[in-house]
């Protein structure tokens, strides 16, 4: 089934030890084995039989197995490449929300479509430029806010907080990439590489045209996509990409970032897979949260953190069901035991957690009492900007 020699080489070091299956969050809720999938994909020429035997589309691509693998086999990357081959053969992942993500992405990928970031997502009295050295990439915040308007999330607040913070800290006006399209993260991990390339080419052109040297994003998935996947597509990029927590941690070290408002909150932190295991960034968000302890915030860690952090349960808006919901409930209960607020740095994690919390269909969900919040809104509060 797998024709790419490069893909085969990437997983040829697997010696079938089963460590991946033992730690995989999907394997705890259903029959699923990365080890078995690797063996079948490399040896079975019948894709229909493999898909029936192993639901490889259920993989979260969370890289938990990579963090534990003694041979450093990147199963998530392997699955992504497999999905691309499957997509080209007509197979599709089980997408949620009426294929909202792929439909919107395909529309945005059209050359004649030029999106405009909504005015109500931009704070008043902030000077923004169209060209300059440092830019904020808002990604899909506005699109997600339009669709997920019933789960208790304020997407505009995330965008406004990010812009207000950067405007406060920067010496020169911030560039807002308000014509940017979706980064392409979701369609890429669904296997639609051609649509991803169209989105990436447009965004890269937009960034270069603006003369930007540093792109800052508040979404962990956009950060990984711009920093890693765009580089794989285009080669060395003429601009640097940072997650906003990395930039803020630097400003904290320089003494530029200061907190003015006392906040009384008990918080814990959820490591998004893309920021953590994919990009290796665990320290920056924690440095910020620990700094907030000086103004009344109490920060406590959950049991499973950093490389061992549990995934939010859904990747690229595909394969969302009772199995993945069980993973989210497990994580939310862990957070509830630790704090009143679950802080994270990924819009997608917030969507999945809030979506689960707003589904008041079972007594099990009724008993979970924890609030999910983006770290940028917490920082903006502490800076007295909200």
Q: Is the dihedral of CA 342, 345, 348, 349 positive or negative?
A: negative
User: What tens digit of pLDDT does each residue of 8-26 get?
Assistant: 677 777 777 878 877 888 8
User: Over pLDDT 90: what percentage of the chain?
Assistant: 55
- Nearest CA to 74 out of 13, 2, 5, 4 is that of 13
> What domains are there in the chain, each with its CATH number?
5-88 (1.10.1060.10), 97-251 (3.40.50), 257-382 (3.40.50)
* Closest C-alpha to 4, from 60, 61, 42, 46: 42
Q: What tokens appear for 245 in the block?
A: 């927590």
Each residue of 157-186: pLDDT tens digit? 999 999 999 999 999 999 999 899 999 999
- The pLDDT value given to residue 202: 95
Residue 248: the pLDDT is: 98
Query: Rounded mean pLDDT of 227-255?
Result: 96
Name the least confident of 16-30, 32-46, 83-97, 141-155: 32-46
Neighbours of 237 (CB within 10 A): 16
Model confidence at 361, pLDDT cuts 50, 70, 90, reads low
Q: Strands 266-269 and 214-217: what pairing?
A: unpaired
Look at residue 365 and tell me whether its pLDDT is greater than 70. Answer: no
Q: How confident is the model at residue 1 (pLDDT cuts 50, 70, 90)?
A: very low
Question: Are 353 and 229 a contacting pair, CB within 8 Å?
Answer: no
Side by side, the strands of the sheet bearing 214-217 are 128-129, 174-176, 134-137, 214-217, 240-243
Lowest mean pLDDT among 69-78, 313-322, 329-338: 313-322
Is the pLDDT score of 30 beyond 70? yes
Phi/psi-derived region of residue 125, left when phi > 0, alpha when psi is between -120 and 50, beta in every other case: left
At CB < 8 A and 24+ separation, what contacts does 334-339 make? Answer: 334/302, 334/303, 334/304, 334/310, 335/268, 335/270, 335/302, 335/370, 336/368, 336/369, 336/370, 337/302, 338/268, 338/300, 338/301, 338/302, 339/266, 339/267, 339/268, 339/298, 339/299, 339/300, 339/370
> Which tens digit of pLDDT belongs to each residue from 221-232?
999 999 999 999
Percent of the chain surpassing pLDDT 70 = 92
Q: What is the pLDDT of residue 135?
A: 97
* pLDDT higher at 151 or 52: 151
Residue 102 and residue 192 in contact, taking contact as beta carbons nearer than 8 Å: yes
Beta bridge partners of 328: none
Residue 150 neighbours by CB distance under 10 Å? 9
Whole-number Cα distances in Å, 193 to 172, 219, 226: 37, 21, 15
């Amino acid at each position: 089934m797998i024709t790419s020699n490069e893909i085969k080489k990437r997983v040829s070091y697997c010696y079938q030890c089963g460590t991946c299956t033992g730690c995989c969050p999907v394997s705890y809720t259903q029959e699923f084995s990365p080890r078995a999938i690797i063996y079948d994909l490399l040896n079975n020429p019948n894709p229909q039989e493999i898909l029936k035997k192993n639901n490889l589309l259920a993989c979260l691509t969370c890289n938990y197995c990579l963090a534990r693998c003694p041979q450093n086999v990147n199963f998530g990357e392997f699955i992504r490449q497999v999905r691309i081959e499957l997509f080209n053969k007509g197979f599709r992942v089980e997408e949620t929300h009426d294929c909202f993500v792929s439909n919107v992405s395909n529309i945005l990928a059209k050359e004649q479509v030029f999106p405009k970031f909504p005015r109500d997502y931009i704070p008043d009295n902030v000077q923004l430029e169209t060209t300059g050295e440092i830019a904020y990439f808002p990604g899909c915040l506005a699109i997600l806010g339009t669709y997920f308007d019933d789960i208790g999330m304020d997407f505009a607040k995330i965008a406004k907080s990010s812009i207000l913070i950067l405007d406060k800290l920067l010496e020169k006006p911030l560039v807002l990439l308000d014509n940017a399209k979706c980064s392409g993260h979701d369609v890429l991990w669904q296997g639609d590489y051609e649509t991803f390339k169209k989105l990436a080419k447009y965004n890269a052109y937009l960034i270069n045209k603006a003369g930007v040297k540093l792109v800052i994003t508040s979404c962990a998935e956009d950060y990984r996509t711009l920093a890693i996947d765009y580089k794989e597509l285009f080669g060395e990029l003429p601009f640097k990409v940072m997650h906003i927590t990395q930039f803020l941690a630097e400003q904290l070290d320089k003494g530029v970032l200061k907190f003015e408002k006392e906040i009384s909150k008990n918080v814990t932190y959820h490591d998004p897979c893309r920021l953590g295991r994919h990009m290796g960034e665990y320290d920056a968000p924690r440095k910020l949260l620990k700094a907030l302890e000086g103004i009344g915030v109490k920060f406590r860690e959950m049991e499973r953190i950093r490389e061992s952090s549990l995934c939010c349960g859904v990747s690229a808006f595909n394969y969302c069901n009772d199995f993945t919901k069980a993973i989210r409930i497990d994580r939310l209960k862990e957070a509830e035991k630790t704090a009143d607020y679950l802080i994270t740095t990924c819009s997608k994690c917030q969507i999945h957690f809030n979506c689960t919390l707003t589904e008041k269909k079972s007594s099990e969900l009724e008993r979970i009492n924890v609030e999910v919040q983006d770290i940028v809104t917490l920082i903006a509060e502490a800076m007295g900007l909200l």
